[in-house]
Amino acid sequence: MKKLGQQTIQFDNSPQIISSASIVGKKEFEGPLGEYFDQVLKDAYHQQKSWELAQVKMTEDVLAKALEKVSLAQNEIDYLLAGDLLNQIVASNFAARNFPAAFLGLYGACSTMIEALAMAGLMVDGGAANNILAFTSSHYQATERQFRTPNEYGDKYPSYKQRTVTGGGTMIVSNQTGGVKLTEATFGKIVDLGIANPQDMGGAMAPAAADTILQHLEDTGRSPNYYDLIITGDLGKVGKSLTIELLAEQGCQVQDNYDDCGVLIYNSSQKVGAGGSGCGCSAVVTASYLLPQIMHNNYDKILVLGTGALLNPTISLQGETIPSIAHAVALESTGHLTSGIGREDIRQSLATSIEDLSGVE
C-alpha cells in the first residue's frame, strides 16, 4: 500500500528529478536569485507579437533547455504534464503541440508545478513511464490583463498584493538515477476561509498551505524539523506570516525552517507589494535554486508546496470567496551530482565552495 494516512502517497521506486531549467523576466533576474536562472528575457515580448505568445515561447525554450542538459530527445519523453494561468492553459497546450509525447493538461493555478511533479512521480513510480516533462509558466503582463487590470491602466500595488512572476520552469522526472529523489507527495483539499478580495491571494491561500503541511506531517508521522526546509511557492510576505500563525495555533512551530518562494524571488526594494506569485514562481525557484542546493548537499530534505487560488474574474465579480489548494512533494538528496540540474557556472561555484570547506571542523 503506497498511501500513508489520508492524503499522502509514498514512492517506493525512487522516481528522480534528473534535469531542470528555468527562464525569467528582467524583474526576476534583478532579484536575489537572478544568477541561478538559465535564461533571461531581453524584453517582455520575447521577440513575439503578444505577451501570451511570449509565454508560449518561454515555455518552448525552457523545455528544450531541460532536454539539452541531459541529452534526451523529444521522443524519449513519455508524457508531458503541464498547465498555466491563461484561459484553457494555452501556453502549455501550444508549447506541447510540437512534441510527439502524450500531453496531460493540469490546472491548479499557482499549485500546478507541484501538482505536475506529484503526478509525474506517481506515473514513474508505478512503471507507467520512464521520463516525464513536468512544466508550467506565468507572465506578468498576460496574467494581469486576464485576471486583474491591464498594465496600461496603471493599477496600484497595495502592500498585500503580489506580483505575478514572469517565468517558466520545467523538470524531468525519470526512473534513471543520479538526480533528486521524490519520496512522497501529499495532495491537498480545497480550503476556503471566506476571503473574497482577489488582490489578497496570500491571505486566501495560506489556510490551504497550513492544512496540507499539517496533513503531511500527520500522515508521515514526522515533525517539522525532519526537513531542512519547508517552503511554500506563492504566498508572499502576508501569506507566509499567516501560515506561520495558523500552524502555531495547532502547535506546529516552523519559524526556524520555513520560507516562501514568493518572498525569496524579489528584493524588498523592487516595489512588488507582498512579493511574488503565479505558476512560474515556485517553478523557477524550485528548478534553479532549490534543486541545486539539494544536489550539492546544502540541504538534504525539503518539503515544497505549491499553493493555488482557484478563482476567475467572473466569479470574483459576483462576490464569491476564494477557494484555495496546496499540494506538496518531499525532495531528498541522493548524494550524487548531475549535469542536468543548475547552471554550469553556479554548479562549479557551489562544488568549489563545498570542497574548500571539506576540511574545516
Burial of 63 (0-12, 13-18, 19+ CB in 10 A): buried
Report which of 200, 186, 280 is spatially closest to residue 233, judged by C-alpha positions.
Answer: 280
pLDDT of residue 354: 43
194 contacts 150 by C-beta, under 8 angstroms:
no
Instruction: Give the amino acid at 242.
Output: L
Burial of 149 (0-12, 13-18, 19+ CB in 10 A): exposed
Distance CA 306, CA 208 (A): 10
Question: What are the residues whose beta carbons fall under 8 Å from the beta carbon of 295, sequence distance 6 or more?
Answer: 179, 180, 333, 336, 337, 338, 341, 342, 347
Q: Which three cell numbers stand for residue 222?
A: 514526522
Write down the domain spans for the chain: 3-174, 181-333
Distance CA 208, CA 215 (A): 10
Give ∠ CA 105-107-108 in degrees, rounded to 5: 145
CATH assignment of 181-333? 3.40.47.40
The listed CATH number (3.20.20.70, 3.40.47.40, 3.10.180.10, 3.40.50.2300) that belongs to domain 3-174? 3.40.47.40
15 contacts 175 by C-beta, under 8 angstroms:
yes
Distance CA 113, CA 169 (A): 8
pLDDT of residue 151: 56
Q: Which residues of the chain have pLDDT under 70?
A: 1, 148-157, 337, 347-361
pLDDT of residue 315: 87
Domains 3-174 and 181-333 are alike in CATH topology? yes
pLDDT of residue 258: 97
Q: Which three cell numbers stand for residue 235?
A: 504566498
145 contacts 151 by C-beta, under 8 angstroms:
yes
Buried b (16+ CB within 10 A) or exposed e, 280-312: bbbbbbbbbbbbbbbbbeebebbbbbbbbbbbe
Q: What pTM value is reported for the model?
A: 0.93
pLDDT of residue 283: 97
pLDDT of residue 149: 61
In eight-state DSSP terms, residue 342 is S
pLDDT of residue 1: 64
